[in-house]
Amino acid sequence: MDILYEGKAKRLYATAHPSELRMEFKDDATAFNGLKHEVFAGKGRINKSITLTLFSFLEAAGIPTHLLRDEDETRLIVRKIEIIPIEFVVRNVVAGSLAQRTGWAEGTALPEPLVEFYYKNDALGDPMLAPDHIRVMGLANAEEVDRIRSLCLRINQLLMGFMQDAGFRLIDFKLEFGRDGERQNQIVLADEISPDTCRIHDLATDEILDKDRFRRDLGGVMEGYQRILEAIRNHAAQR
């Protein structure tokens, strides 16, 4: 079937059904806007399973998502939606670009969760946007921005609790949303939630288990991802 979109870590294919897409998770990993690239055998399979587990959990908790069903080792079937070209980053603890922007030490707990907006545009290097930019650029209207911001905070509450019960600390993560034309343009959670798009540390030791292992050349990248998969699967099965 036709490839509709190919990103750095996923491909989207058309299916025989016009309102359904096939989302395939690749083994490729990139960092620093594609400057660094490596292929990790098994990453696509692990990230697909983590995304399936977390999206299923969020759907069951009342968050509308694009997930329809599992397909095979590396692919999910999702609703065809209109993606909003903004990366919504939610943070609980200072890390990465927030440490650079504020001068605050990595690992500092934030007094309240922070929601940030970045323009999804590789050529521009995904610059940060204020809510006014989002409106003036016509990327989303004020109501949509408010709705998405409250969904981000609710998802953060749900995921923080889930991760903590599974033995992890959720430092920060990136979400994407879209409009579902078949459901009155309802805002739905889209894309993925995986160690590629989250910072996740061991609750007891603070060991880094996410894509920072790749960004910082710490080694054992797939071992970290596999540990996250096993623990969240066990936790989801017990719930």
Contacting positions for ligand TMP (CB under 6 A): 89, 95-98, 126, 172-174, 197-199
| Coil, strand or helix at 82 | strand
Nearest distance from C-beta of residue 99 to ligand TMP, angstroms:
8
Structure tokens at 80: 């065809």
Cβ closest to ligand TMP, residue 169 vs residue 174: 174
Nearest distance from C-beta of residue 169 to ligand TMP, angstroms:
12
Cβ closest to ligand TMP, residue 71 vs residue 126: 126
Nearest distance from C-beta of residue 197 to ligand TMP, angstroms:
4
Cβ closest to ligand TMP, residue 121 vs residue 185: 121
Residue 21 to residues 9, 24, 189, 193, 209, Cα–Cα distance (Å) = 16, 10, 15, 18, 30
Cβ closest to ligand TMP, residue 128 vs residue 137: 128
| Coil, strand or helix at 97 | helix
Cβ closest to ligand TMP, residue 47 vs residue 49: 47
Residue nearest to ligand TMP (CB): 96
Nearest distance from C-beta of residue 171 to ligand TMP, angstroms:
7
Structure tokens at 226: 């596999």
Sign for the pseudo-dihedral over CA of 141, 145, 148, 150: negative
Residue 198 to residues 89, 132, 239, Cα–Cα distance (Å) = 9, 26, 22
**Secondary element (H or E) of residue 118:** strand 109-119
Nearest distance from C-beta of residue 1 to ligand TMP, angstroms:
27
